[in-house]
Chain A
């Protein structure tokens, strides 16, 4: 009798606790196509999670090493000075969460998961005595739309959640990793991820690829195109002064 009661209690508890694998996300669109009319876009992330979880969604671009230069005053002028090498600089770093990250996650948990400006600072190699460079860099990235850490940008409706992201116009080709973190009591209980591919299409793709893969031919083509247009205009307006 006692054993049956214990089993019943365990069963009830198990039903009440969220099970692993109950966090799901989907990103829309799954493919971003950058043509000549591309000027940035919107990315919607929808998902399902147990109601007790607090959700954080992150959109992360591919990371690479970047070199920046710090402007310094020389006499009356602001001129390039110290070089700053960023170890792993993501193309975009966008976060939307149900509330402030500090309320949803313990600091060490956020750091470990790479969530928030502090974690980004560390991954860039700008922590410690170089953190003033990080704050300056982040100011610029925020202005260009490359970085955003939003609070309250995830809306909930029962077990469903949704977040929307504004993608900057300068979005290199590659893969965006979209991740959802289900948080409870300051810890990440579960993660789920989806991928969004970014492609240049049409003429924009052709021109960019030509400029990268065959730069001399591209340059010659660009020069000849301008020459042809110029001769066309010169022919169409034979009495113009031109120069």
Chain B
């Protein structure tokens, strides 16, 4: 039994989509990460072109981010003011990224750029997690709840500060605007929410307390992903909603299993397993760029 993906133009087994959603949801529930960076490579491995995989991954991300945001809204742990500035940047970055994607797609170099970005980001993140134990640090801090907010010296010296009372910080709005723009670019190119980038950036660069970091990040991710989905469909025609629905069907259950598993596993073990998974994916994608290609001719539109 297969499922035909009308925009991707290929048939895949529905269990593959649901399975990918389960895995991504499991990691989301287990580790508190979005999982978009894992989803796009998985979709590429199923045979989707990188362009369709990234755009459809962003579409699925709207659902996962909405689900997570709802939980944080209940806990009142969202800084809407900071989130709105991040979002403004995200919309700008997402629009620029989508146009950039369109130009690269017409030149036929989009696939290589997407794969290259994944090699770099997955490799860097995998190495960072493996060597420094970032997740343990974040997790521990999250468990501690409220943390004294402190903006690094050079960031606080940037003129025209703006107060963000919910986060208890005061910084120049250009900083979160630029952070948001970077996340928008990542969403357009890689189909990721950018939580893996935004959470550490908000924590260590802006000194936002962990209590509001994840909720605020999800607020920005949700609306950026929403905007990027519309723009990718409009300008590039690369969003396959069937992919997103399949992924969401799996991720809902996966997140619950992951959350339950997280209560029985130790943070250090999780961190090592997760970082090894990221490194393996990074090496696999690097191999795609280095090894003799299976086919030397590829469609210029980015479709296979």
Interface residues of A (CB under 8 A from B): 34-40, 66-71, 76-80, 83-84, 133, 136-137, 139-140, 143-144, 169-170, 172, 200, 203-205, 207-208, 211-212, 215-216, 218-223, 225-227, 229-231, 233-243
Q: Does B162 contact A (CB under 8 A)?
A: no
Contact B292 A78 (CB under 8 A): yes
Q: Does B299 contact A (CB under 8 A)?
A: yes
Query: Interface on chain B toward A: helix, strand, loop, or mixed SS?
Result: helix
Q: Which of A70, A144, A208 contacts B296 (CB 8 A)?
A: A70
A220 CB contacts on chain B under 8 angstroms: 230, 233
Contact with A along B250-289 (1 / 0, CB 8 A): 0110011011001000000000000000000000000001
Q: A116 to nearest B CB, angstroms? A: 20
Contact B259 A230 (CB under 8 A): no
Q: A85 to nearest B CB, angstroms? A: 9
B7 CB contacts on chain A under 8 angstroms: 207-208, 211
Separation of A231 and B234 alpha carbons in the complex (Å): 24
Given A77-B289, A83-B300: A227 in contact with B66 (beta carbons within 8 A): yes
Q: Which of B11, B226, B255, B259 contacts A223 (CB 8 A)?
A: B226
Q: Does B183 contact A (CB under 8 A)?
A: no
Q: B39 to nearest A CB, angstroms? A: 13
**8 closest Cβ pairs, A-B complex:** A242-B68, A219-B233, A230-B66, A230-B63, A234-B70, A69-B108, A243-B68, A39-B11
Q: B21 to nearest A CB, angstroms? A: 11
Q: A66 to nearest B CB, angstroms? A: 7
Q: B304 to nearest A CB, angstroms? A: 8
B239 CB contacts on chain A under 8 angstroms: 211, 218-219, 222
Separation of A219 and B298 alpha carbons in the complex (Å): 26
Given A79-B109, A170-B10, A226-B62: A237 in contact with B230 (beta carbons within 8 A): no
Q: Which of B32, B248, B293 contacts A233 (CB 8 A)?
A: B248
B291 CB contacts on chain A under 8 angstroms: 78
Q: A211 to nearest B CB, angstroms? A: 5
**Nearest neighbor of B33 in chain A, beta-carbon distance:** A243
A67-B108, A169-B9, A203-B6 given; name 10 further pairs at CB < 8 Å.
A70-B297, A71-B295, A78-B292, A144-B304, A211-B6, A215-B235, A240-B67, A240-B71, A241-B255, A242-B28
Contact B245 A229 (CB under 8 A): yes
Contact A231 B70 (CB under 8 A): yes
Q: Which of A68, A133, A235, A243 contacts B217 (CB 8 A)?
A: A243
Given A200-B6, A208-B7, A230-B248: A241 in contact with B71 (beta carbons within 8 A): yes
Contact B63 A233 (CB under 8 A): yes
Separation of A207 and B7 alpha carbons in the complex (Å): 8
Q: Does B1 contact A (CB under 8 A)?
A: yes
Q: Does B148 contact A (CB under 8 A)?
A: no
Separation of A16 and B7 alpha carbons in the complex (Å): 55
Contact B297 A133 (CB under 8 A): yes
Q: Does B163 contact A (CB under 8 A)?
A: no
Q: Which of A140, A218, A225 contacts B295 (CB 8 A)?
A: A140
